[in-house]
Amino acid sequence: READDSIMAHRHAFTRCGVRISVYSNIDFKEEIEHLDSMGAEGVGLFRTENLFLDDLKPPKEAAQQEYYRKMGEMLAPKPLVIRLFDIGGDKLIYSPVKEPNPNLGWRGVRILIDVPEILDAQLQAVIRANIHGNIDVLIPMISSVEEIMHIKQAVEEHYKHIRSLTTEPLDKPGIGAMIEVPAAVELIDEITQIVDFVSIGTNDLTQYTLAVDRNNLIVQDLFEKFHPAVIRQLHRVISTAQKNHCRVSLCGDMGSDPLATPYLIGCGLREFSIVSSDIPALKAMVGKYTVEECEALAAECLKLSSASAIKAHLEAFVKAH
């Protein structure tokens, strides 16, 4: 298995019919970058920056962030690095000074970034100044409206202009992406994919918010079902609408590592996955078993089914037959 893994790691992934599938890694700390080559990651599709709060639960200073992101960009170049803006609050790091009755529906992600400009400004300046290799993009967490995206886009624009006027360094403007992880963002996907450079689907939160099931509550863990038809249909809608609008789309939720999901997602048109690095060799091997045509027929069948158990049974039969 280890030998197989190392061979797979260094190959690009192609479906059996020759369509290229890109596989990136999700990471929590820059130290993980050292291991990404051996796992076959084509870059970082999600860096969860909220982990930088862990040391003293305070926003890290701009200079410290700049150095951190610059090193990451350097270690990865020319491979891409997607830096997700701080997704604090909710079930992650509680930033709110007041105890929220329902933090998952409270002050979280982009809402905090908009309300506390010092945090947003420091992070955007750090990211822009770090982008000396031109391989860094930013990803906005917890988007539920077009206005939130426009707010961050405008802030990037202003900081970029200002920083460019101060330096002779060849700094590229980072691309801007939106996390699609709240049902409102799915509903607005046509508009969203016309104003961003890329979208990334967060199936962990999308499942939580679509089904009204807390992702960390053991009492309802059996109801946390990413193959629920409501989730499955949203994935198809997001991926196909992004394609129609020529907007890059990737998926960075844990679902990307589930072998049952692979052929369905490819059938919906997904060509970019971002997953935990240890799962990359297995995903690359899995991709090679299917043709796009088979996956498209599978996805069309799944979209007609109205229960998670029927969808999973269908996917299991397909995976077993290959």
The residues, any chain, with a CB within 8 Å of residue 36's CB and separated by 6 or more, are: 25, 27, 43, 44, 76, 277
- Minimum distance between the CB of residue 179 and ligand PEP, rounded to whole angstroms? 7
Task: Count CA atoms closer than 13 A to 88's CA, side-chain side.
Answer: 23
- Determine, following the binding rule CB under 6 A, whether residue 203 of this chain makes contact with ligand PEP: yes
- Determine, following the binding rule CB under 5 A, whether residue 181 of this chain makes contact with Mg ion: yes
- Determine, following the binding rule CB under 6 A, whether residue 131 of this chain makes contact with ligand PEP: no
CB nearer ligand PEP, residue 179 or residue 292: 179
- Determine, following the binding rule CB under 5 A, whether residue 205 of this chain makes contact with Mg ion: yes
Annotated binding residues for Mg(2+): 181, 205
Task: Count CA atoms closer than 13 A to 81's CA, side-chain side.
Answer: 32
- Minimum distance between the CB of residue 132 and ligand PEP, rounded to whole angstroms? 27
Which of ligand PEP, Mg ion, none does residue 262 bind (CB under 5 to 8 Å by kind)? none
CB nearer ligand PEP, residue 179 or residue 295: 179
Give the Å distances, CA to CA, from 292 to 19, 92, 162, 242, 298.
7, 37, 46, 18, 10
Among 174, 253, 267, 281, binds ligand PEP (CB under 6 A): 253
Given 247, 252, 268, 302, the catalytic residue:
252
- Minimum distance between the CB of residue 290 and ligand PEP, rounded to whole angstroms? 24
Calpha distance 31→72 (Å, rounded): 9
The tokens for 49 are 């920056």
The residues, any chain, with a CB within 8 Å of residue 117's CB and separated by 6 or more, are: none
- Determine, following the binding rule CB under 6 A, whether residue 48 of this chain makes contact with ligand PEP: yes
Residue number with the smallest Cβ distance to ligand PEP: 202
- Measured in whole angstroms, how far is the alpha carbon of residue 304 from the centre of its chain? 27
**Are β-strands 81-84 and 175-180 bridged in parallel, bridged antiparallel, or unpaired?**
unpaired
For 276, counting Cβ atoms within 10 Å of its Cβ (0-12 exposed, 13-18 middle, 19+ buried), the class is middle
The tokens for 302 are 């799944």
Which of Mg ion, ligand PEP, none does residue 252 bind (CB under 5 to 8 Å by kind)? ligand PEP
Task: Count CA atoms closer than 13 A to 253's CA, side-chain side.
Answer: 24
Neighbours of 221 (CB within 10 A): 12
Residues 86-125 that bind ligand PEP (CB under 6 A): 87
- Determine, following the binding rule CB under 6 A, whether residue 205 of this chain makes contact with ligand PEP: yes
Calpha distance 168→90 (Å, rounded): 40
Give the Å distances, CA to CA, from 240 to 216, 268, 299.
30, 7, 12
302 is catalytic: no
- Determine, following the binding rule CB under 5 A, whether residue 202 of this chain makes contact with Mg ion: yes
Phi, psi of 178 (to 5 degrees): -120, 135
- Determine, following the binding rule CB under 6 A, whether residue 204 of this chain makes contact with ligand PEP: yes
Residues 168-187: x/- map of binding to ligand PEP (CB under 6 A)? -------------x------
Among 45, 202, 263, 281, binds ligand PEP (CB under 6 A): 202
Which of ligand PEP, Mg ion, none does residue 120 bind (CB under 5 to 8 Å by kind)? none
CB nearer ligand PEP, residue 160 or residue 209: 209
Catalytic residue numbers, as ranges: 252
Contacts with Mg ion by CB under 5 A lie at 181, 202, 205
Contacts with ligand PEP by CB under 6 A lie at 48, 87, 181, 202-205, 252-253
